[in-house]
Structure 1
């Protein structure tokens, strides 16, 4: 599920819930009992009563359809805006023709504006609706109290539902960011375990292999002893190979996966991400090494840069792969020193015959540049 799909109306986990949305929004329809009373009580008669009934039914239908058409805060179905326009026109028509309690119809439209439109557009739509309510009331010679009350409802409900929408969006963004932080923490722990496993077992098993080779040479005069030592060497080599395969599985994620993760992390942190990739796919180990580099560079942008924009660029020409991560954050004016994460990355890239350059850019911000030759045999 993409990030935008999770920012939805509905349950606490971000999944859409049309049933809850419909029930919640339908409770407010109780105030339409007043326009309905005008029809039932005979205040409106003949053709006007029939027209009013048809208009009220159409308004309620379009209102509910518009509520259900919205999939999320960022995604609209192709019917959302046409339905919103029809609902608004029906509400304005009822207010202009019948006045009185029918002035409440445009108030319901304000609720839709708060949930559906961007905040600035919703504010302008709210002010336009206020003018419609006041103008319709004056044109129908309604009493001042009714006009004032409904005008205040337009303002208060408009501000309320715009705030509710913004709060909902922020809360789900926060939850997505927390999930991503937890994922990063788990990834970091896996990497720590992988490093420890490689450093401890890898070193010990390598030493066993070397000692076995030496003991085998010394025991050449005893075929039985030589055979047992050769078995020890074979088992140690196999164990060392399995440890390296396990560590590689812990550490390595593909470059496309890391780029997708970087987009989500940056978006959750409020950083606009621009990604440009050319010449991929990369060879296996090179792909994993640049994936590692993207993860480390993105983590630094989120944690330290205080940036609003980040560009990730990957190129591969068959001979050399290049990764650049540039942000517009606080690059700093003084001497630049790599942190432990970048130092670890530098060691891995250097082991593959590549180079890492990191530091402030002249115009402010920070650049991480990783160059790795093709055919690298990056260590696990």
Structure 2
């Protein structure tokens, strides 16, 4: 699920709620009672009142449609910006032509700007609406108090809803980071249990095997006893193999899991990730080795590269398996040196008959390339 999909106008779990949005905006729409009063109270008469009613109805319909059409704070539908444009034009026309209480229409549009536009654009839009309120007020000879009050509302509400949008984004980023920390903590705990299991049971079972071998040699003159001891040795060896297989399963960093982890970590760090895979699945040994490589490479991208984009490419053509992690970062000034993590990875890959290349990429950024021949898969 993308980051944008998790941030919506909806409930805590990210599901959009049109009812909630409509209830929220209905409270603010109470201030439209003043333009309505101008129409019904006789301040506007004749054709002017008719056109005012048509404009107000169109503004209200466009405003509600913009709110409902918006998928989320960070994911707009194709209709969002056209509807926002229509709403803005209607607000400017109403304020300019009728003045007075109609200067409140741009106040409503800045609320939409705060929720739908990127912060920089929203700030410019707020400033533009402030200019509309002041200019329209002066053109219609409205009182200074009306212009000042509504101008302050444009600024304060615009800043408020831009802040609400940013706060919601930070809240969801924090939630994603907490989820990732919990997942990593669970992974580390699983590895700790695996280590303890191997150290405790592995040592004890190995000792039982050795003692059984010794007892077997000492009981060669007693066939029945020798047979029972041999059975103990067989069971102990089998249990030792099963423990090691279980520990290997706990410790293995599988490629699909690590790719999912890499996407989450890079996204949380603000790095756009692109993963391309061809020719997989990899054989078991290579799957674990490449999973380890993805984790090490991703960690380096997050910690050192200062990148905004990262591409992870895995290919397996039957002759060789290749992993490439490329970023557009600018970190690591000076001569490139392998850290302890990459040196450890280099040793593991070399043990499998492969090679590791790490350093600046020809087109800029950095690249980690792991190449392992097919013979290592046997």
TM-score of the superposition, structure 2-length normalised? Answer: 0.84
Q: How does 1:287-366 map to 2 (within 5 A)?
A: 287-327=287-327, 328=329, 330-331=331-332, 333=334, 336=337, 338-339=339-340, 342=342, 345-346=345-346, 348-356=348-356
Cα-to-partner distance string for 1:74-120 (whole Å, 9 max, x where unaligned): 21123322322232232223223322111211221111011101223
Q: Paired residue for 1:195?
A: 195
SS of the equivalent of 2:233 reads helix
Cα deviations across residues 34-81 of structure 1 (Å, max 9, x unaligned)? Answer: 111112212223443343334323322322232232222321123322
User: Does the 8 Å CA contact 2:278/2:314 hold for their aligned counterparts?
Assistant: yes
Of residues 242-251 and 177-186 in structure 1, the stretch that sits farther from structure 2 once superposed is 242-251
Query: Is the Cα contact below 8 Å between 1:3 and 1:264 reproduced in 2?
Result: no
Structure 2 unaligned regions, length at least 5: none
Structure 2 distance, partners of 1:150, 1:122, is 18
- In structure 2, the partner of 1:286 is 286
Query: Does the C-alpha gap of structure 1 residues 30 and 235 become closer, same or farther in structure 2, counting only changes over 3 Å?
Result: same
Q: Which deviates the most, 115-124 or 362-371? A: 362-371
Aligned residue in 2 for 1:163: 163
Could you report, residue by residue, the CA deviation over 1:284-316 in whole angstroms, capped at 9, with x for unpaired residues?
Answer: 332232122212322343345554443433232
My pick for the range that moved more, 80-89 or 131-140, is 131-140
Partner residue in 2 for 1:2? 2
For the Cα contact (< 8 Å) 1:324–1:367, is it kept in 2? yes
The corresponding residue for 2:153 is 153
How many pairs were matched up? Answer: 377
Report Cα offsets for 1:329-372 as digits up to 9, x if no partner: 53364784643x55654554455343445567799966544333
| C-alpha contact (below 8 Å) 2:95/2:106 kept by paired residues | yes
Instruction: Give the match for residue 133 of structure 1.
Output: 133
| SS of residue in 1 equivalent to 2:318 | coil
Q: Name the counterpart of 1:228.
A: 228
SS of 1:74's equivalent in the other structure is: coil
Structure 1 CA distance, aligned partners of 2:112 and 2:216?
A: 82
How far apart in 2 are the matches of 1:213 and 1:288? Answer: 34
Query: 1:333/1:219 Cα in 2 relative to 1: closer, same or farther (>3 Å)?
Result: farther
**Counterpart position of 2:32:** 32
For normalisation by structure 1, the TM-score amounts to: 0.84
Provide the rounded CA distance (Å) in 2 between the counterparts of 1:368 and 1:212.
Answer: 49
Worse overlay, 10-19 or 102-111:
10-19
Contact residue 313 and residue 323 of structure 1 kept, 8 A: yes
**1:103-139 CA-partner distances (Å, limit 9, x unpaired):** 2112211110111012232233333333333343344
Who is 1:272 aligned against?
A: 272
| Partner SS state of residue 324, structure 2 | strand
SS at match of 1:148: helix
Residues 203 and 350 from structure 1, CA distance in 2 versus in 1: closer, same or farther, beyond 3 angstroms? farther
Paired position in structure 1 for 2:183: 183
8 Å CA contact retained: 2:306, 2:331: yes
Residues 317 and 251 of structure 1: is their aligned pair in 2 closer, same or farther, counting only changes over 3 Å? same
1:331 touches 1:364 (CA, 8 Å); kept in 2?
A: no
| Counterpart-to-counterpart distance in 2, 1:65 and 1:362 | 50
Q: For the Cα contact (< 8 Å) 1:205–1:239, is it kept in 2?
A: yes
Q: Which residue of structure 2 aligns with residue 44 of structure 1? A: 44
RMSD between aligned residues: 3.3
CA gap of 1:281–1:167, structure 2 versus 1, over 3 A, is: same
Tell me if the contact between 1:333 and 1:360 (Cα under 8 Å) persists in the aligned partners: no
Asked whether the 8 Å contact 2:304–2:332 carries over to 1, the reply is no
**Is the contact between residue 114 and residue 122 of structure 1 (CA under 8 Å) also seen in structure 2?**
yes
Instruction: Work out whether residues 336 and 360 of structure 2, in 8 Å CA contact, stay in contact via their aligned partners in 1.
Output: no
